[in-house]
A and B are shown apart, each in its own frame.
Chain A
Amino acid sequence: MGYARFIAGKTASYVLALLAAVSLLYVGIYPTLQKVIQASAVEAASEFQRNLARGHPGLSLAQMASEVATYKAAYLGAFGFDQPFPVKFALQMANLFEFHLGSSFFIQAPDGSKQVSAIVAAYLPNTILLFTTGTLLVVAVGGVIGLLAARSAGGKLDRVVPVVAIVHSSVPSWWIGFIFIAYFAYSLNVLPSGGISSVPPPAGTLPAFADFLRHLTLPLFSFFIVNFGGFAYVTRSLAVSTMGEDFVTTARARGMTEGRVLFKHVLRTASPSIVTQSILAVAGSLGGAIVTEVVFRWPGLGFLTFEAIIQNDLPVIIGSTFILTIILFMGLYIGELVYGVLDPRIKTGDL
């Protein structure tokens, strides 16, 4: 009961926040967006004209011009071009949320489509794959290391974790990617330098999957190596402060093993805060992750954005930014739901 109310509240708050964030984006890119829509209207109109000429060879030039003009006006009308700003805003936002992102200037989806939504859809899964696997790895390994460090407070591991965290906070993950490529791909020649599969990809499901894993290794590892230290440090701090609480002493007095105290009682109690920290970590590491894609030519949204920047393909930049916003919101939202499960005060309706 408490949890249902919590979910309802969070959902409302996140939906509104997403609207607000996209509005912010909208205002920030307003002039570009108008240009982009006009450009795609021109594109669509010439497409329409070609079809018209093919389908109705008998039309006169004047008739043709008037048909095309009507079509273009209707196209722009759908984006509220002849309307006052609030209507225009509403129409264009609605278009964004329906994934009517227009067509790109140059970039094509693998199937040849120039629809931004199709392009983004083609690149999106790779980003989700790399980013979620990376995040899960960071949270799992960083969390365990942090807990172990907290257990031996003052010990060797406990002294190493802050050092690793310090070094990690000053290294860009994509740059580490560079170094890995130079070393593992070109110097040792043991792993591919980039991309998501060999060209041509090996035949058969299993070899293809192994090939894919080989390509995933370096980007994943460079994302992991730069992010787990900070997370281990945060987990350690949270665990150490939790271990100072009375219930830990009483748990020991109850005759529990250290492992049970640490991995059941301390971890479980600190887990809501750890989830909160994971949420912040996810928000913070997305930027690094998408740039890591660039270095490894991993065909995800980051790589797509980089290509779009190079080619000045504005529709693609806007589209991928919009999708990234939605992804980040989903990630944080899932984090909140997990938090709700972990904190009993939410279940009982006390928070």
Chain B
Amino acid sequence: MTALLEARGLAIRYPSPRGEVRAAEEVDLEVGSGEIVGLAGESGSGKTTLAMGMMRLLPPPGRVAAGEVLFDGTDILSIPEERFRREYRWTKISMVFQGSMNGFTPVFTVGAQIDEVMRIHGREGGRAAIGRLLRMVDLDDGIARRYPHELSGGQKQRAFIAMALALEPKLVLADEPTTALDVITQANVVNLLKRLRKETGVSILLITHDLALISQAAERLYLMYAGRVVERGPSDRLLREPMHPYTQGLVAATPTLESRDIKGIPGFMPDLARLGEGCSFHPRCPRAMDVCRRERPALRGVGGEGVACWLY
């Protein structure tokens, strides 16, 4: 399996009055062709920032401080902005947003916006194409004539996914695509994503804080904590036998059918502007040792698996 998207040593920082915030550090990430990869972590762990960084949409003053992102072998962070806009945004990489509820411009109809994105990238557009896209996400053709405020949250999310697929991209970054939806709609959206992957062969990077959701969809999983990947591996293994104490805590905090006994992880995420020397998780870690305070553990492992913890 060759990697479609490969991030190497990616670091994203932005200055703040409290010092430089290290939103992401030394992140290595791979998404294969036709693969659904999960990127999980608590809110504030740097997942969304990472996605925005790869889309080159970091709100200023944020910037990519180090690393590269290879897409089909091209470093998409170093090519000129205009070329990236023309050749990659939405044509090769599209995105479904956390705020896709508000992702449509409120004053244009859904159809007009799908049509627009097709036309600005030199595609045909037109009613038939839009209808096909909408039907693909189980929406009625008539939705094209509606304004965003006339749609329900689930309908908007589906319509947005349809728009994300309008240019047949190779990769969709799905950032919390199910937040603010009710549970049944959440499941529908996840099933939709899985089905679309099967039908179109698109790769999906599914970014979420919801492990239950990710376990349904993703084959492989990256777990982020305080801007770093702390564990990676196949999702069934990772959820069944989590290695990193953070993953363990997270899994324990996820309700399953078998156990309703939910335990949260005590404590809070550290201030990303004031990260110390040791492991970022050690203040909350039930198994913290002396070395955890002094030195940061590197992500070690073989193949697709790995963990950043002194326990292993």
Contact = CB atoms under 8 A, between A and B. Distances in A.
A342 B107 contact: yes
A348 to B, nearest CB: 6
A247 B103 contact: yes
A344 B106 contact: yes
B106 A255 contact: no
Contacts, number: 76
A34 to B, nearest CB: 52
Determine the main DSSP class of B at the interface with A: loop
Given A245-B102, A246-B99, A350-B150, A253 B90 contact: yes
A247 B104 contact: yes
Contacts of B100: 246, 250
Interface string B111-136: 00000010011000000000000000
Interface string B77-103: 000000001101111001101011111
B57 A252 contact: yes
Contacts of B147: 344-345, 347-348
A260 B120 CA distance: 10
B105 A255 contact: no
A253 B55 contact: yes
A250 B109 CA distance: 15
A253 B97 CA distance: 10
A255 B103 contact: no
Contacts of B102: 245-247
A255 B57 contact: no
B296 interface: no
Nearest to B89: A255
Given A254-B89, A255-B86, A269-B107, A249 B57 contact: yes
Given A253-B55, A350-B149, A265 B105 contact: yes
B86 A269 contact: no
Interface string B243-275: 000000000000000000000000000000000
Contacts of A255: 85-86, 88-91, 117, 120-121
Most chain A CB neighbours (cut-off 10 Å) among B94, B102, B103, B121: B103
A268 interface: yes
Interface string B178-196: 0000000000000000000
Contacts of A254: 89-90, 94, 117, 120, 163
B97 A249 contact: yes
Contacts of A271: 107
A256 interface: yes
A265 B86 CA distance: 19
Contacts of A265: 105, 108
Interface string A259-280: 0100001001101000000000
Contacts of B121: 255
Given A246-B103, A250-B100, A268 B149 contact: no
Contact of A256 (B101, B108, B120, B149): B120
B150 A257 contact: no
A141 interface: no
Interface in A209-224: none
Contacts of A256: 117, 120
Contacts of A257: 85
A251 interface: yes
Interface in A104-140: none
B97 A269 contact: no
A257 B85 CA distance: 8
Nearest to A251: B105
B86 A250 contact: no
Interface in B142-168: 147, 149-150, 160, 163
Interface string A333-351: 0000000001111011010
Nearest to A268: B107
Contacts of A250: 95, 97, 99-100, 103-104, 160
B151 to A, nearest CB: 11
B103 to A, nearest CB: 4
Contacts of B85: 255, 257
Nearest to B81: A258
A224 B59 CA distance: 36
Contacts of B106: 247, 269, 344
Interface string A313-348: 000000000000000000000000000001111011
A253 B95 contact: yes
Most buried by A among B88, B90, B95, B105: B105
Contacts of B59: 249
Interface of B: 55, 57, 59, 85-86, 88-91, 94-95, 97, 99-109, 117, 120-121, 147, 149-150, 160, 163
13 contacts: A246-B100, A246-B103, A247-B106, A250-B103, A252-B57, A253-B89, A253-B90, A254-B90, A255-B85, A255-B117, A269-B105, A344-B107, A348-B149
Given A250-B95, A254-B163, A344-B109, 17 more contacts: A246-B102, A247-B102, A247-B103, A249-B57, A250-B103, A251-B105, A253-B57, A253-B90, A253-B95, A254-B94, A254-B120, A260-B120, A265-B105, A268-B108, A347-B147, A348-B149, A350-B149
Interface of A: 245-247, 249-257, 260, 265, 268-269, 271, 342-345, 347-348, 350
The 8 closest A-B pairs by CB, nearest first: A255-B89, A246-B99, A246-B102, A250-B103, A255-B90, A344-B147, A265-B105, A247-B105
